[in-house]
Amino acid sequence: MRVGGPVLTFETDPCVLSKDFQINDIFWTLQGEGVHSGQRALFIRLPFCNYDCPWCDTEYNSFKKLTEPELVHWLKQEPARLAVITGGEPLVHKDLPRLLKLLKEHNFYVTCETNGSAPVPADIDFVTCSPKAFTKGKFEPYYVHPDAYPKTKQWKYVVDDNFDFGLLERHAKDPQDIIHALSPEFGKMKKNTQRILEFIKLNPQWRLSLQTHKWIDIP
């Protein structure tokens, strides 16, 4: 079962807190990339994003409303205790604090995938930060919020035709246990994978991260 819905428009802030949860999608799958790759996880996709990446593969501007009992039902029936909160940009959604509270009450290890533009709540156990250039002019390209940087445990950059590897010098002094990953933009995977491989030859602290869920055709 998946949750989706029509595109809605708003005259005011679309993330106004309500009794129901705004959920773009909720489903179990295998995490397809990063340090938790291959593990069963409950994915919870929150709607709306503050960026406009041209190659985004997510229809995030739609949602269904779930009541708290409906959401708790999902949490109770999920055999794994790994949750992935994603979006859109989940850290700017006002339902996030209540969602985190429920996940922790049901003993989930909570991971989050973010563009890094907002502070990270304390209840998130593992942060994957994927800075982007397409900030709608709100921030400098590849901006990372000062609160998000020290809480990030895994960095993931999408390498497209215009990606400048010089940007990665910002991570030269990161702690040894931080994971650094490069993911080729899926539309031009072969070309950008080759660019990544050439970079990793000289910078072995970085790793190639492929979206394996797309290869095996799962959500």
Residue with tokens 């490069």: 182
pLDDT tens for residues 76-132?
999 999 999 999 999 999 999 999 999 999 999 999 999 999 999 999 999 999 999
C-alpha atoms less than 13 angstroms from C-alpha of 19 in its C-beta half-sphere: 3
CB 158 within 8 A of CB 73: no
CATH tag, 21-215 = 3.20.20.70
The domain spans of the chain are 21-215
Instruction: Flag whether pLDDT at 7 surpasses 80.
Output: no
CB 152 within 8 Å of CB 129: yes
User: What is the distance of C-alpha 1 from the center of its chain?
Assistant: 21
What's the pLDDT tens digit per position in 39-67?
Answer: 999 999 999 999 999 988 788 889 999 99
Residue 184: phi, psi to the nearest 5?
-70, 135
Average pLDDT over the chain, rounded to an integer: 89
Structure tokens at 127: 């942060």
What is the average pLDDT across 192-211?
Answer: 96
